[in-house]
Structures are given as C-alpha cells and as structure tokens.
A and B are shown apart, each in its own frame.
Chain A
Amino acid sequence: MSISILKGGLLTTVQDLGRKGYLHQGVVEGGAMDRLALRSANLAVGNEEGAACLEMTLLGPAILFKQASLICVAGKGMTPYMEGKPYPLGAAISVPAGQELTFKTARQGARAYLAIAGGIDVPAVLGSRSTYLRAKLGGFEGRKLEKGDLLPIGKVAEHLAPLLKKADKQGCPLVSNWHVNGSLSDSATLSETVVRALPGSHFSMFTKESQTNVFDMSFTIQNNSDRMGYRLQGEAPLLRETKEELLSEAVTFGTVQVPPDGEPIVLMADRQSTGGYPRMLQVAAVDLPKLAQMRPGDTFSFKKITLEEAQYFYLQQELAMQQRKVGIALKQAEWLAQ
C-alpha cells in the first residue's frame, strides 16, 4: 500500500506525537503542531491516536490514492477536494482506488492533518516517525514531501475492509455523516484571539510595566515564524529589570522566551531542548492547538491564568478526548453496519 505525491504543497511533512525520551541528548521532540487535530483525524479512521499523519501547511499537496483508502482531514487552513468536489473537514471518507485529493486554501487556520487508515508507515527513528527538518531526521527521508514521492501505508484494520470495498465498488467517495473537527471542552467559549498563559519562572525579572503590558497588549505573529517558534511583535518591547546572563535549561512546547530585543518567541513543536533566554510566560497546553493554527500576520492577546486552572482545563480536555474516542468508535460501528 502506498500513496503518491503529485504536488508537495508548501510544507507537507510526516508527523506523529513526537519523539519522547531523547531530550537529554538534545534531540527535539518535534511532532504535530496541532495535536488535537492529529489525534482526532487518526481516531476517525480507526488508527491509534498517535499514528503518523501528513501535516499540511497553508498550501495543501495533491495526492493520488493508488488503492482504496479510508482517510480523514482534520484541522484548519484548507478544504479537501476530491474529483472537483469539496468534503467536510473532520469527516471520515472512504476513497476508491485511483482518486486524487487536492486542497483549497481557507481564509483562516494554518495546518490540516491527513490521517490514512493504517497510518503512514515510514520507519520510526528514535521512537518516532516525525520529520525533524533541521537534522534531516525521521519522517520521509528527513525532508518535506515533493512531487514523485511514494509513501508506504500500513495495514488497514480488517474490520474496516468492507467500507473500503463498498466505495471502490461504487466508484465514488463515501463520506461519514459525523465529523471530529469540533473544539473540545471550554475553548469554544473563549474568543479565537485569546490565548491563556501562566507567568513563567522568570516573570518577576521583567519591569512592572512589561508584566502588565504582556497581558494588556496584542501581539502579531511575524513572518519569520516556523515550526520551531512563533516570533511575536507587541506594541511595546518587553523589558527586563536586570541584564544578567542566565544559564540554559529545559524549555517546552508553549514556553515564551524573551530575547534582549524585547520581542517574545513562543517555542513550538520543533523547539530546541534547552534555552537560555528568560521564560516570561508558558502558554496553557489546552490553547496550543489554537496557537498552532494561527498564521503569520494573525493577532492575539495573552490571558493570565494560574497553573491550577491550566491543569484543570487540561484534564477536562483529555476527558473530552476520551469521550470523543468512544463516540467515534460507536459512529464507526454504525457506519459499518449500514
């Protein structure tokens, strides 16, 4: 089983939930930027939550399915098309052999995830199939996808086979009447342009004015942002009270570091394992998917919350994810029975 890349798109890479256990060797975690979208897409096609998917950025690829496949595109930033017809994000689609998937860029959002039943079966490097571009590590030959690439797909679970056969027989895609693209837990009630964050371990090193400003002003994501970090421009630079050099130590997804120029950087999936700039904020884990969907030029503001609140929201979100998992399994069974 394999899929054929007809057009690579802007930045299409193989990603899973990242490399664990190698940070102390300086190996970045990497993995999907929007992990909820990746997990949801995988569940919709009967995969393990952390199976390898394609992460597609802003301008989607064109893909030919050589065999009948069960797929799901979740996330934001693009609409899937098959043979000229648009399909909903987050739906499971049974695709007959020989069909071509293309994308149209949407007005909002940055990344969509293509999950295929069986998962993308590139070899795991250091326990993960994620592509780490800077070290040319993992994924498909350690690089972004290009025209002509053939990606191996793992074995489809046997119980899904009838669904694939059905679409193949009918000669047109079959789409589920359910989808997994809704937001989870409370994030829906919060404005799209608000990102919750806790004061970081160096928060008190900043001037009183900057400590207030960081939660008052809005920030624009700069063009030189990437999977490693989002560079932000605020209305005023964030300044430190003192200038002493710090010793490097561990940073993580969502750590907001402020270099001497006062323009903060939010560390994202491909962040380095350690950092030496002051850690002013830490983005709440529940809002990382939202941030991962923002593009250069987008504007947002930080809302202060406590660690206890962040942990509570996180647990709520994980609970909702478990419920989604059960819900999808039931819907899948229903779909198969039709």
Chain B
Amino acid sequence: MRGQHLQFYPLSEGALTVSFATGIHDTTNTQIRQLMNDLDKRRFPGYIEAVPSYTGVTIFFDPAHVAGAAMKGSSICEKVECLLRERIGALGESEQASTGKTIAIPVCYGGDYGPDLAAVAAHNHLSVEDVINRHCAGDYLVYMIGFAPGFPFLGGMDPAISAPRRKQPRAVIPAGTVGIAGGQTGVYPLETPGGWQLIGRTPLVLFDPERKQPSLLAPGDRVRFEAISAKTYEHMKEAGR
C-alpha cells in the first residue's frame, strides 16, 4: 500500500482524519478496516478511539498525552501523522482485514411498516413487487455506522430503486424501519426523527446496550434483506421480547 495518495487533515486539537480516496469503493473499505484493526490492536500512547467513514478514518487522541509521548514529529498532529503513515505503509504486508459476517435482515415491506414503498415505486416507474425484489436481491456492504447508535450506512443498492430524501423529515420513525435515501439504504435502530423514504421494518434489534457488541452490524459486514409477512414480523417481534 505504498505510494498511494493519502490526505491528512486535522478535525480538532484531538482528532486527525486520514483519507484514502474520494469516492465509495470496496477496496478503500478494506484498507479502512485494516487500519481500524491495527489501531485497536496496537494502541499508541494517548489513543482514544477511531471512527471510519466511506473514505477514511478519524483518529481521536488526547493531545496532552501525545505531546509528551516519545513519537516522531515535532507538533502533536505531526506525531500522529508520522505514526499513521508508518502503520498504513505496513498494512498490506501484515494486517488482514477482519472478514465481516453476513447477516440476513428479515423485512416486512409496505403497509404501516413501510409507508413510502408505493412512493418509491412510483418515483422509479416500478411495481411495488419490483422494488421489494430489487431491494432483496442486493448484497450490501456495511461501510460505516453513524448518525445514531447502530445505524448502518449500506452500499450496493440497485440504483433503479433510489429515491430522494423526503422534503419534510418525519418527527418519529419507529425502531427497525428500513429506509432509502438517494442510492443508500439503511435501518433506523432507534426511534428517531429522519428524512429517508420508509419501505419496511425489521423485527431485529440493531442496537442493544446490553449486548457485548451493542451494534448488530459493523463495517465490513454483508447484509441481505429477506421479505417476510406481517404475521412473521409480529411473530418474530413477540419472540424477541
């Protein structure tokens, strides 16, 4: 992974972002996960945590700790940048990206569970069944978790079912609701406001603070949606309680 064009820019006194690329690519995501793994396994003095995005990683650290640490570089940011350059340079050789798990997410499409399904179909001149079939046909990569606890940003949706965000966001979206915004699809883990087009709902719990890994999904995981009936939805919901 040498010779590639890395960009570093500070977010604050205690955060530095490294960017690998400008667009959404599977290969960038692999690099990002390798770096995340490496940072987690070999924590440097003052390291707090790291947040992946579509294009890079933001590393949070304690400036006071880094300032005093024996690291290459004169300023605080330079020290962290030097360390990251070294780590990234060595990634391809030593570090394996964690192989993500594949998770099936059962979804009851349409009706009260997905009030915008018909609108998404109409927007794309498709039947409701077409939208469901195309949404279920996809193999989605979890690029990042953000916005709300456990909210996955998924890539790989069929562009034929993309739909713009709603002009007026809804004040309350029930937990488990599956939405579409532009070419992205995702699942609302908690009851929150939101502006995505809602096409269905899953009985799975995407975020549970009681679990060892509270977020069901992690970057690098693969997701497949499976259509279920309202009866199955209610049954699974009941069983999950």
* Chain A residues within CB distance 8 Å of chain B: 20-28, 125-126, 134-135, 137, 198, 200-201, 247-255, 272-274, 279, 282, 284-285, 307-308, 310-311, 314-315, 318
A315-B63 contact given A26-B215, A307-B10, CB 8 Å threshold: yes
Q: Which residue of B lies closest to A24 (CB)?
A: B51
Contact A250 B15 (CB under 8 A): yes
Chain B residues whose CB sits within 8 angstroms of the CB of A251 once the complex forms: 11
Complex partner residue of A201 from B17, B64, B190, CB under 8 angstroms: B17
The 10 A-B residue pairs whose C-beta atoms are closest, nearest first, are A274-B146, A250-B58, A249-B53, A25-B215, A250-B51, A26-B145, A247-B54, A27-B149, A201-B9, A26-B149
CA–CA, A21 to B12, complex, Å? 17
If over half of B's interface residues share one DSSP class (helix, strand or loop), that class is named, otherwise mixed; here it is mixed
Contact B48 A21 (CB under 8 A): yes
Chain A residues whose CB sits within 8 angstroms of the CB of B209 once the complex forms: 125-126, 137
A-B contact count (CB 8 A): 133
Contact B145 A134 (CB under 8 A): no
Contact A23 B12 (CB under 8 A): no
CA–CA, A23 to B148, complex, Å? 10
Contact A27 B214 (CB under 8 A): yes
Contact A274 B147 (CB under 8 A): yes
Chain A residues whose CB sits within 8 angstroms of the CB of B214 once the complex forms: 22, 25, 27, 126
Contact A274 B13 (CB under 8 A): no
Chain B residues whose CB sits within 8 angstroms of the CB of A273 once the complex forms: 51, 145-147
Q: Which residue of A lies closest to B150 (CB)?
A: A26
CA–CA, A155 to B67, complex, Å? 35
Which residues of B in the span 201-227 have a Cβ within 8 Å of any Cβ on A? 207, 209, 213-215, 218-219
Which residues of B in the span 56-87 have a Cβ within 8 Å of any Cβ on A? 56, 58, 60, 63-64, 67, 75-77
Which residues of B in the span 94-118 have a Cβ within 8 Å of any Cβ on A? none
* Chain B residues within CB distance 8 Å of chain A: 9-15, 17, 24, 36, 48-56, 58, 60, 63-64, 67, 75-77, 144-151, 153, 189-190, 192, 207, 209, 213-215, 218-219
A-B contacts, 20 of them at CB < 8 A, read A21-B48, A22-B149, A24-B145, A25-B145, A25-B149, A25-B218, A26-B145, A26-B147, A27-B214, A134-B148, A201-B10, A247-B55, A248-B53, A248-B146, A252-B60, A273-B146, A274-B146, A279-B11, A282-B12, A315-B67
Contact B52 A201 (CB under 8 A): no
Contact B56 A284 (CB under 8 A): no
Chain B residues whose CB sits within 8 angstroms of the CB of A200 once the complex forms: 11
A282-B147 contact given A24-B49, A274-B51, CB 8 Å threshold: no
Contact A24 B219 (CB under 8 A): yes
A252-B12 contact given A20-B49, A21-B48, A314-B63, CB 8 Å threshold: yes
CA–CA, A27 to B51, complex, Å? 11
Contact B53 A315 (CB under 8 A): no
In this complex, which of A21, A198, A247 has the most chain B Cβ atoms within 10 angstroms of its Cβ?
A247
| Distance between A143 CB and nearest chain B CB, rounded to angstroms | 14
- A24-B144, A135-B190 known, 19 other contacts, Cβ within 8 Å: A24-B218, A25-B145, A26-B150, A27-B214, A126-B209, A126-B214, A134-B148, A134-B192, A137-B149, A250-B15, A273-B51, A273-B145, A273-B147, A279-B11, A282-B11, A307-B10, A308-B75, A314-B13, A318-B64
CA–CA, A26 to B219, complex, Å? 11
Contact B51 A284 (CB under 8 A): no
Q: Which residue of B lies closest to A279 (CB)?
A: B11
Contact B49 A314 (CB under 8 A): no
CA–CA, A143 to B79, complex, Å? 41
A26-B13 contact given A126-B209, A318-B64, CB 8 Å threshold: no
Chain B residues whose CB sits within 8 angstroms of the CB of A310 once the complex forms: 12-13
A26-B64 contact given A134-B192, A201-B11, CB 8 Å threshold: no
Q: Which residue of A lies closest to B75 (CB)?
A: A308
Complex partner residue of B51 from A23, A254, A279, CB under 8 angstroms: A23
| Distance between A139 CB and nearest chain B CB, rounded to angstroms | 12
Chain A residues whose CB sits within 8 angstroms of the CB of B215 once the complex forms: 25-27
Contact B67 A250 (CB under 8 A): no
